[in-house]
Amino acid sequence: MQPIDIHRYAPLFVVMNAASGSQDSQAVRETVEREVHRAGRSVFFRMLEPGQDLSTVAARAVQQAVEHHGIIVAAGGDGTINAVAQAALGKDCAFGVLPQGTFNYFSRTHHIPADPVEAVRLLLNTREAYPVQVGLVNDKVFLVNASLGLYPELLEEREAAKQAHGRSRVVAMWAGLRTLLHRHRHLRLTLQMESGALGKRQQTIKTPTLFVGNNQLQLEQLGMPEAPRVSQGQLAAITVKPQPTWRMVWLGVKGLFGRLGEADEIVSFPLRDMVVQPLLPLGRRRIKVATDGEISWLTPPLRFSVASMPLNLICPTPAAFEQSQQQSTGT
């Protein structure tokens, strides 16, 4: 798919979650306003206030961006970016990011600067938005990953730790290891996938978690061989064979050191479309699913797929990124 053009005076519509990340949102807002006005452009903010629904705020901002031929911008962590991307997918507007999260996998993958000044200047000076792949689980967007089982529990523990001890990678990693020390229930999942000329193939597995990745950087950091498939129009699925608690902790350590893909206990495979039917306890109709760190309850079956339409992202071209790297290193 071809990039879309951006008008040189396109206004910016910024959705900002004041609770995201460790940076001061007011300082970021002032930086954005200063740079935008210096460039002779317009910017409109939609600040997420306590009690407001992020998806509703994002949908209204996207509607305004489309009506005014503007740029929709997500300012926050991966969860905020996900909500705005959900509203922007399939809409005729460019999508920008001002990263303010802890890991910022999406922005780092696409070489979007973490510095607010550099990030907003990228939004102002770029004249094309480039198509990037979006993952779906049923109708929920995921740009980084989607998961069920142990991984959503890990995310909830991590968020609680951040609330108590602040947002940092050390806190996040410690919370993850602590979650692995607990006993966890195994899921029984029936997986159905397309298998070329053979039609559909189906298998039933028992696993503590199913993780589907859509971010090459995160998969590379885990040491997964499927990481390059994400840039080739596929997703990467990871499951774990049932293990004792101490072994799960060891797998977590291997993941921290980028060697998870070497473990015999890990089963991973690429996919474009997969239907998952979990065996739920009697009386339960929904299952907890995490998408880019945000928890929701979805009704099975769960269909994991690559969206038919991309997100039109404002990011450096490979040539521009390489040039900036050379300038920063003095080569």
pLDDT digits (tens, 9 = 90+) for 213-258: 999 999 999 999 999 999 899 999 999 998 887 787 788 788 889 9
Q: Is the bond preceding residue 301 a cis peptide, omega within 30 degrees?
A: yes
Verify that 63 and 198 share a domain, yes or no: no
Going from the C-alpha of 185 to that of each of 125, 207, 245, 276, 331, the distances in angstroms are: 50, 9, 11, 17, 52
For helices 169-180 and 150-165, give the axis angle rounded to 10 degrees: 130
- Give the span between the Cα atoms of 31 and 22, in whole angstroms: 16
Verify that 115 and 219 share a domain, yes or no: no
- Give the span between the Cα atoms of 306 and 294, in whole angstroms: 19
Nearest to 77 by CA among 204, 162, 192: 162
Verify that 321 and 250 share a domain, yes or no: no
Verify that 212 and 185 share a domain, yes or no: yes
Amino acid at residue number 44: F
Residue-level pLDDT at 129: 96
- Give the span between the Cα atoms of 177 and 41, in whole angstroms: 46
Q: Which residue has the tokens 């450096």?
A: 316
Verify that 166 and 249 share a domain, yes or no: yes
Bridge partners for 132 per DSSP: 311
Q: Which residue has the tokens 């040189």?
A: 8
Verify that 314 and 292 share a domain, yes or no: no
Verify that 94 and 240 share a domain, yes or no: no
For helices 54-67 and 78-88, give the axis angle rounded to 10 degrees: 50
Verify that 129 and 277 share a domain, yes or no: no
> Do 62 and 93 meet the contact criterion of CB atoms below 8 Å apart?
yes
- Give the span between the Cα atoms of 77 and 103, in whole angstroms: 8
Verify that 294 and 145 share a domain, yes or no: yes
Residue-level pLDDT at 173: 58
CATH code (residue 19): 3.40.50.10330
CATH code (residue 282): 2.60.200.40
Strand runs (DSSP E) across the chain, as ranges? 4-5, 12-17, 43-48, 71-76, 94-99, 128-132, 135-137, 140-142, 145-149, 187-194, 200-207, 209-213, 235-240, 266-271, 273-278, 287-291, 294-298, 302-306, 311-313
Residues in the chain: 331
Residue-level pLDDT at 255: 86
Q: Whole domain around residue 84: which residue ranges?
A: 4-134+310-329
Task: Give the predicted TM-score (pTM) of the model.
Answer: 0.87
Residue ranges in the chain modelled with pLDDT below 70 = 18-23, 157-184, 195-199, 318-331
Verify that 64 and 212 share a domain, yes or no: no
Verify that 144 and 249 share a domain, yes or no: yes
Would you tell me how many other CB atoms lie within 10 Å of the CB of residue 47? 15
Verify that 152 and 119 share a domain, yes or no: no
Structure-block tokens of residue 72: 């929709």
Domain count, the chain: 2
